[in-house]
């Protein structure tokens, strides 16, 4: 059988393809994004980016009750957005297999919070699977879809960052043909609220049957070891346990909701001390304590914050001292991420900084505008929160409030907020950073980008018309690389007596169509340069200081965005083609 090195996320996509999934939807979010990107390359599957996770979930719900095997993907906070359908879907239950991937991000590599979505699944009474390597990422997708169909329940698979973004070997199989089911109109199941009371006991009955099943399901696996120490673990943490405690008995839980009470009691009865090693909250541990198991140690020993690692386990167990960073004469400077060379967001932040306005930011690369050197974005919470937060700050007396949001985030969750701000009498200024993509997650198309997930042309949402339709009278479009245009538009918007929108437009430099342009890089003419430092204040990573203390543009990085040339008072910066012979 062919084996390939796959990312956990790629393996999930492969599993969905092999299991006969026909519909897949989601919204980009680290660490989940590569699942749909991979799946979109299989012609047998309709994969799509949806406007947001709630929409993706609901589309998936429709596809599944319509009979299709369905995959819906999102990061942990995406499931908050989709929580509404997630909580009610289990009542009706599914027809075709329905699997939602929740990619949790302990350590907050690319997130605003840590959140263990097993609690959300428990609240929704939805079973949870947790694979431990890429092979299981693939295999569990198939298993989850079978469970989903057998029990007519949506199923959740929880991954965490290291699982989603590690590569390991996966045996590849063929695509399975699944018998097509069809939708049946059944008001008792799908529509009238009064019947929900009749469905309610069925949810409990299903859960009871699942509780029986998980006692013997092979993915809840006991690996015998010494009797002194046993470990209950799940997910990627299983690998760390095997690395650090090779002799211990292990109960690896492939299903973490519902949990197998008898199996856990039996395992703990055969070991003196049981460690519970799980990334995230004390989800398994709390259950074990609730059924009267006392010989265990979990979060008190290993901690609840941040992701796990073998080094962390070894340290917590007192097995060895893991060295820390070298300290001494040399100071290890931090290196946070920064705007790319030629990023169109720079001009907006430099204008906002200059105008000294209060800025409510949103979720995207532009969260970095809060950091040095701009320090011009003052709040970041969750998708779409900029507009509502700005509105509230304005009510609280902040003058000249700007909401700042990306194009993809605006479509995701900004539109109702803009309608609301207009309706409730705000005069905030909204800046839409329109870079024609979902930048932070690596450049996924969205409804306002005019492209589909495969790169094909798609109907394009007109952001200007959208804002006008929301009731905004002053809507301005500015070339984001034109410093004066951006600053002028902002000034005009702030002076406007009603709500105003500035769309700062220019594609993300990471998009293939931007990267593969044949442009002449810019160059600093040292004969004209007065070493005034103005160009350094553009904070472009392609502008370095050379041995002669002059600015020098790294030619193979320059995107010819022209912003440094715009700030140069002596016109010493121009394209290489104009260099005098």
Partner 1 sequence: MSEANGKVYSLLFAGVGGQGVLLGAEVTALAAVREGYDVKQTEVHGVSQRGGSVETHVRFGTKVWSPVVTPGKADLVVGLEALEALRFAHFGDRQHGVILVNQHEIIPGSVKDAERDYPHGSAEFIRSRGYRVLAMEASRLASELGDGRMANVVMLGAVSTFLPLSHETWLDALRQRIPERFRQPNLQAFAAGREAAAR
Separation of alpha carbons 464 and 503, rounded Å? 8
Q: Is 166 one of the binding residues for partner 1 (CB under 8 A)?
A: yes
Q: Is 317 one of the binding residues for partner 1 (CB under 8 A)?
A: no
Q: Is 303 one of the binding residues for partner 1 (CB under 8 A)?
A: no
The Cα angle at residue 488 between residues 487 and 493, in degrees rounded to 5: 100
| 83 vs 338 by CB, closer to partner 1 | 338
Task: State the binding string over 110-129 for partner 1 (x if CB under 8 A, else -).
Answer: x-------------------
Q: Output the smallest distance, CB 327 to partner 1, in A.
A: 10
Q: Output the smallest distance, CB 262 to partner 1, in A.
A: 28
Separation of alpha carbons 529 and 332, rounded Å? 33
Q: Are the C-beta atoms of 195 and 188 separated by less than 8 Å?
A: yes
Window contacting partner 1 (CB under 8 A); options: 185-193, 303-311, 395-403, 518-526? 303-311
Q: Is 31 one of the binding residues for partner 1 (CB under 8 A)?
A: yes
Which position among 165, 270, 491, 492 is part of the footprint of partner 1 (CB under 8 A)? 165
Q: Is 331 one of the binding residues for partner 1 (CB under 8 A)?
A: yes
Separation of alpha carbons 289 and 280, rounded Å? 17
Separation of alpha carbons 545 and 288, rounded Å? 60
Could you give the count of Cα atoms lying within 13 Å of 275 in the half-sphere of its Cβ? 24
Q: Is 539 one of the binding residues for partner 1 (CB under 8 A)?
A: yes
Q: Are the C-beta atoms of 256 and 276 separated by less than 8 Å?
A: no
> Could you say which residues in the range 132-161 bind partner 1, by CB under 8 A?
133
Q: Is 511 one of the binding residues for partner 1 (CB under 8 A)?
A: no
Region label for 471, one of left (φ > 0), alpha (ψ between -120 and 50) or beta (otherwise)? left
Q: How far is CA 504 from CA 357, 407, 433, 443, in A?
A: 17, 10, 5, 18
Q: Is 7 one of the binding residues for partner 1 (CB under 8 A)?
A: yes
Q: Is 14 one of the binding residues for partner 1 (CB under 8 A)?
A: no
Separation of alpha carbons 408 and 414, rounded Å? 9
Among 116, 78, 100, which Cα is nearest to 382's?
A: 78
Torsions phi, psi for 197 (to 5 deg): -65, -30
Q: Output the smallest distance, CB 564 to partner 1, in A.
A: 14
Q: Is 532 one of the binding residues for partner 1 (CB under 8 A)?
A: no
Q: Is 169 one of the binding residues for partner 1 (CB under 8 A)?
A: yes
Indicate the DSSP class of residue 179: P
Which position among 44, 62, 88, 109 is part of the footprint of partner 1 (CB under 8 A)? 109
Number of residues in contact with partner 1, rule: CB under 8 A?
57
Among 289, 93, 73, which Cα is nearest to 207's?
A: 93
Structure tokens at 81: 């957005």
Torsions phi, psi for 576 (to 5 deg): -55, -35
Q: Are the C-beta atoms of 481 and 408 separated by less than 8 Å?
A: no
Q: Is 556 one of the binding residues for partner 1 (CB under 8 A)?
A: yes
Give residue for tokens 């070991």.
271
Window contacting partner 1 (CB under 8 A); options: 214-222, 331-339, 424-432, 481-489? 331-339
Q: Is 369 one of the binding residues for partner 1 (CB under 8 A)?
A: no
Q: Output the smallest distance, CB 134 to partner 1, in A.
A: 9
Separation of alpha carbons 322 and 198, rounded Å? 57
Q: Is 194 one of the binding residues for partner 1 (CB under 8 A)?
A: no
Which position among 17, 339, 349, 481 is part of the footprint of partner 1 (CB under 8 A)? 339
Q: Is 328 one of the binding residues for partner 1 (CB under 8 A)?
A: yes
Torsions phi, psi for 207 (to 5 deg): -65, -40
Which position among 12, 17, 24, 30 is part of the footprint of partner 1 (CB under 8 A)? 30
Q: Is 319 one of the binding residues for partner 1 (CB under 8 A)?
A: no
| 228 vs 537 by CB, closer to partner 1 | 537
| 4 vs 44 by CB, closer to partner 1 | 4
| 31 vs 344 by CB, closer to partner 1 | 31
Q: Is 1 one of the binding residues for partner 1 (CB under 8 A)?
A: no
Cβ neighbors of 515 (< 8 A, separation 6 or more) are: 509
248-252, strands of its sheet edge to edge: 221-223, 248-252, 226-233, 273-277, 296-297
Q: Output the smallest distance, CB 333 to partner 1, in A.
A: 6
Among 410, 444, 509, 339, which Cα is nearest to 33's?
A: 444
The Cα angle at residue 363 between residues 106 and 416, in degrees rounded to 5: 125
| 416 vs 541 by CB, closer to partner 1 | 541
| 502 vs 543 by CB, closer to partner 1 | 543
Q: Is 521 one of the binding residues for partner 1 (CB under 8 A)?
A: no
Structure tokens at 202: 């069925």
> Could you say which residues in the range 423-462 bind partner 1, by CB under 8 A?
440-442
Q: Is 322 one of the binding residues for partner 1 (CB under 8 A)?
A: yes
Which position among 46, 167, 175, 206 is part of the footprint of partner 1 (CB under 8 A)? 167
Q: Is 334 one of the binding residues for partner 1 (CB under 8 A)?
A: yes
Contact residues for partner 1 (CB under 8 A)? Answer: 3, 5, 7, 30-31, 33-34, 109-110, 133, 162, 165-169, 236, 239-240, 242-243, 309-311, 314, 322-326, 328-340, 365, 367-368, 371-373, 440-442, 539, 541, 544-545, 556
């Amino acid at each position: 059988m062919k084996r390939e090195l796959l990312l956990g996320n790629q393996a999930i996509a492969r599993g969905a393809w092999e299991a006969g999934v026909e519909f897949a939807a989601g919204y980009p979010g680290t660490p989940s994004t590569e699942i749909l990107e991979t799946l979109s390359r299989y012609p047998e599957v309709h994969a799509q980016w949806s406007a947001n996770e709630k929409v993706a979930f609901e589309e998936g719900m429709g596809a599944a009750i319509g009979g299709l095997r369905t995959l819906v993907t999102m990061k942990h906070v995406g499931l908050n957005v989709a929580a509404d359908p997630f909580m009610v879907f289990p009542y009706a239950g599914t027809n075709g297999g329905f699997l939602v991937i929740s990619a949790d991000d302990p350590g907050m590599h690319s997130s605003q919070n840590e959140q263990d979505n097993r609690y959300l699944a428990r609240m929704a009474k939805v079973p949870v699977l947790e694979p431990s390597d890429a092979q299981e990422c693939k295999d569990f997708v198939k298993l989850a879809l079978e469970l989903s169909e057998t029990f007519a329940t949506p199923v959740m698979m929880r991954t965490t960052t290291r699982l989603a973004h590690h590569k390991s070997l996966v045996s590849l199989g063929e695509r399975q043909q699944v018998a097509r089911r069809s939708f049946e109109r059944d008001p008792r199941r799908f529509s009238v609220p009064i019947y929900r009371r009749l469905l309610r006991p069925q949810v409990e009955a299903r859960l009871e049957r699942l509780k029986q099943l998980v006692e013997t399901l092979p993915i809840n696996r006991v690996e015998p070891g010494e009797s002194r120490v046993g470990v209950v673990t799940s997910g990627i943490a299983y690998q760390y346990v095997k690395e650090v405690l090779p002799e211990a008995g292990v109960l690896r839980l492939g299903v973490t909701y519902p949990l197998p009470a008898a199996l856990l009691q039996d395992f703990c009865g055969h070991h003196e001390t049981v460690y519970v090693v799980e990334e995230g909250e004390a989800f398994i541990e709390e259950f074990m304590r609730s059924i009267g198991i006392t010989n265990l140690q979990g979060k008190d020993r290993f901690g609840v914050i941040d992701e796990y690692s073998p080094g962390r386990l070894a340290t917590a167990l007192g097995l060895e001292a893991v060295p820390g960073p070298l300290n001494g004469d040399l100071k290890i400077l931090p290196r946070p991420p920064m705007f790319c060379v030629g990023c169109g967001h720079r001009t907006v932040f430099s204008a906002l900084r200059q105008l000294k306005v209060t800025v409510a930011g949103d979720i995207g690369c532009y969260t970095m505008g809060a950091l040095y050197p701009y320090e011009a974005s003052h709040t970041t919470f969750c998708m779409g929160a900029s507009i509502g937060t700005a509105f509230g700050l304005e009510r609280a007396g902040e003058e000249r409030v700007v909401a700042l949001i990306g194009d993809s985030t605006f479509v995701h969750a900004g539109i109702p907020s803009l309608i609301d701000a207009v309706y409730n009498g705000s005069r905030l200024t909204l800046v839409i950073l329109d870079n024609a993509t979902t930048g932070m997650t690596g450049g996924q198309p969205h409804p306002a980008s005019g492209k589909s997930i495969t790169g094909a042309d798609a109907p394009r949402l007109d952001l200007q018309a959208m804002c006008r339709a929301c009731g905004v009278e002053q809507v301005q479009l500015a070339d984001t690389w034109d410093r004066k245009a951006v600053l002028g538009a902002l000034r005009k918007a702030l002076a406007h007596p009603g709500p105003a929108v500035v769309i700062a437009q220019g594609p993300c430099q990471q998009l293939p169509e931007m990267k593969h342009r044949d442009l002449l890089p810019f160059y600093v003419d040292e004969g004209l340069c007065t070493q005034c430092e103005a160009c350094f204040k553009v904070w472009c990573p392609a502008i370095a200081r050379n041995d002669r203390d002059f600015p020098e543009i790294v030619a193979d990085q320059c995107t010819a965005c022209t912003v440094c040339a715009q700030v140069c008072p002596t016109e010493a910066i121009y394209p290489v083609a104009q260099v005098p012979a």
